[in-house]
A and B are shown apart, each in its own frame.
Chain A
Amino acid sequence: MSLRIVVCVKYVPDAGGERGFAADMTTDRESSDGLLSELDEYGVEQALRIAEALEGDVEVTVVTVGPDDAKDALRKALAMGADRAVHVSDEDIHGSDVMGTSLLMARAVERVGFDLVLCGMASTDGAMGVLPALLAERLDVPQMTLLSELTLESGVLSGRRDGDTASERLQARLPAVVSVTDQSGEARYPSFKGIMAAKKKPVETLDLDGLGIEPDEVGTAGAWSRVLDATARPPRNAGTVVSDEGEGGLQLAEFLAMAKFV
């Protein structure tokens, strides 16, 4: 019986480039190039490691909710080694908040069929980190979030979550939703073979009709929250420049002590 892993990924603006908001206070996804969110690479990586550990009888499907260009995120995940992809896309999705996105994602995941849902710990643009929990609620399955280690054996998931002061060990039976951190294991580069193979892997596109969702359940109409305005953070202060005339070491030590670094 094939194990079905579904990985949720997001297509986000390049963090290294100019990022901003459009006139309607939604993320401007037009003016810069986007890519697969770096944190989602870890979700894909863990799915592939589980598939390799179970030697085959696993199908990894990667799902995204996003505009046309979000296909690029799916293609990268396919090149890394995922088997197939699902792209949820519809004009009426524009303006969705995480309530809408989680509804779309949950329905898509249900449609694909799943034993394990994997997510990154947060997106690199919204960065709220709540989608995995919302997904688990909507899918009515257990959730283990922010794991730095994950294994699957005989239908039982085991993981470790590292906090500031303690590490926790967690377990859950499948089906479940899991999110993994950037400490969970280096995400692989797609090999050239993988890039060539990605072209031939199936990508299914679904719109709202295909998922049985009404326009007013998503988009700006279905949003539970709205961005009123956004202001750029002021540039950081230049800081204090200390000229070393023999006292430099002392001044530095004082600064560190005052800021409680030593």
Chain B
Amino acid sequence: MSTQDFGLTETQRDIKAMAAEFVDTEIAPHARDWDRAERVDPAIVKRLGDLGFLGLMVPEQYGGVETDALSYTLVTEELGRGDSSVRGIVSVSLGLVTKTIAAHGAEEQKQQWLPQLVSGDALGCFALTEPGTGSDAGALSTRAVRSNGDWVINGSKMFITNGTWAKVALTFARTDDGVTAFLVPTDTPGFTATEIHGKLGLRGQATAELTYDAVRVPDSARLGQVGKGMGIALGALSRGRISVAAGAVGVAQAALDAAVRYSTERTQFGKPIASFQLVQELLADSAVDVRASRLLTHQVARMADAGAGPKEYAVDASIAKYHASEAAVRVSNNCLQVFGGYGYIDEYPLGQYVRDARVLTLYEGTSQVQKLIIGRALTGVHAMV
């Protein structure tokens, strides 16, 4: 049993082992091709659904698998180790959309959406960010107005993961009393999704700009109470932070594994480059970074499993996301250094790890926002703006 597995139950070890095997065989070997094509194989979604990757922690009655949060974290790390784009597809669809519907949806909404999201027959996207509002999410301007018992939505969203692949867009729009959440089927007239090309990383993921042109949905599509949408969004993002942190640990671990192996194979001056102290320093610092990130992430999962709600673990989730994402950027960069020139060619995976890791400090709450969340918790002073 590796030191990483101490404290895991037999079931958690089995879950992690299965995820690792699937990733090593079915995902990692394709990561480069999918990155070059700017598209993961869409067939992977159904395969993930069949095995339960899209139903973790979802009630069994909707087709889910009732694992604990730590198991979900272990699986997410393995996905991140294989391909950050695939990990992102799952993090958003399961972590942000499926789980939010499970937490806040009316029974009819759960029946309508959960089974297909869990099985991989449908994907969800989380439509919060807009061209004009990123960190300042509360100032979003997409509008929903009442019309004959329905709602009509107008506006646009930006940088939406799964945007062009999703069957449902969990949409946050301004209503008279604040922000309200809606489950918008993406085949509703007036809804368009346009894929954004040329991303630096996560190129296998379909990231999109969404346009709502007089999109009409019935009131039954409203998720949760009118005006309570921002709370739903922030709760979802807080829960989602564990997933992003785990994905960050995964990509950092992948970079480290590759660099360690390379350092024992590549020779210069007549010996493996692992013989050089400054190379070992890069690797040792990276290993400590990865280990610390993993422990912070696991701690949040264990809090959740011990009964802590999103409000209670919110700050710890920010700490984990902030540390793990910055560590992933540092580690992937240092491991690219170990590879030297060869790391600069996409025949080797390091370049992709660097590019995929780079977004982690930018999205799902920038590192700067995370620091302010932590600072506010420490001092009681709100220093956001």
Contacts and interface: CB of A to CB of B under 8 A. Distances in A.
A189 B75 CA distance: 14
A99 B283 CA distance: 51
A191 B14 contact: no
Given A195-B18, A196-B66, A196-B67, A189 B11 contact: no
A29 interface: no
B21 A199 contact: no
Interface residues of A, number: 12
A198 B71 CA distance: 16
B21 A192 contact: no
A75 B18 contact: no
Given A196-B65, A196-B67, A191 B11 contact: no
Interface residues of B, number: 18
A262 to B, nearest CB: 29
B22 A192 contact: no
Contacts of B226: none
Contacts of B18: 79, 189-190, 192, 195
A189 B51 contact: yes
Interface in B329-350: none
A198 B18 CA distance: 13
A76 B18 CA distance: 10
State the majority secondary structure of interface residues on B.
Answer: helix
B15 A192 contact: yes
Nearest to A198: B14
B21 A195 contact: no
B77 to A, nearest CB: 15
Contacts of B21: 189
A260 interface: no
A233 interface: no
A111 interface: no
B51 A199 contact: no
Contacts, number: 38
A191 B51 contact: yes
Contact of A193 (B10, B14, B65, B75): B65
Most interface-central of B14, B18, B52, B53 (chain A CB within 10 A): B14
Given A79-B14, A196-B11, A199-B11, A191 B50 contact: yes
B56 interface: yes
Contacts of A196: 11, 65-67
Interface string B49-70: 0111101100000000111000
Contacts of A76: 14
Contact of B52 (A75, A191, A199): A191
Interface in B56-92: 56, 65-67, 71, 75
Contacts of B71: 192
A184 to B, nearest CB: 18
A198 B65 CA distance: 13
Given A75-B14, A79-B14, A199-B11, A192 B50 contact: no
A193 B11 contact: no
Contacts of A191: 50-52, 65
Interface string B20-63: 01100000000000000000000000000011110110000000
A76 B10 CA distance: 12
A30 B21 CA distance: 23
A189 B21 CA distance: 9
Interface of A: 75-76, 79, 189-193, 195-196, 198-199
25 contacts: A75-B10, A76-B14, A79-B14, A79-B18, A189-B18, A189-B22, A190-B18, A191-B50, A191-B51, A191-B52, A191-B65, A192-B15, A192-B18, A192-B53, A192-B56, A192-B65, A192-B71, A193-B52, A193-B65, A195-B11, A195-B14, A195-B15, A196-B65, A198-B14, A199-B11
Given A76-B14, A189-B21, A199-B11, 15 more contacts: A79-B18, A189-B22, A189-B51, A190-B18, A191-B51, A191-B52, A192-B15, A192-B53, A192-B65, A192-B71, A192-B75, A195-B15, A196-B66, A196-B67, A198-B14
Give me the 9 closest cross-chain CB pairs, A-B, nearest first: A192-B52, A192-B65, A191-B51, A191-B52, A193-B65, A195-B14, A193-B52, A189-B22, A195-B15
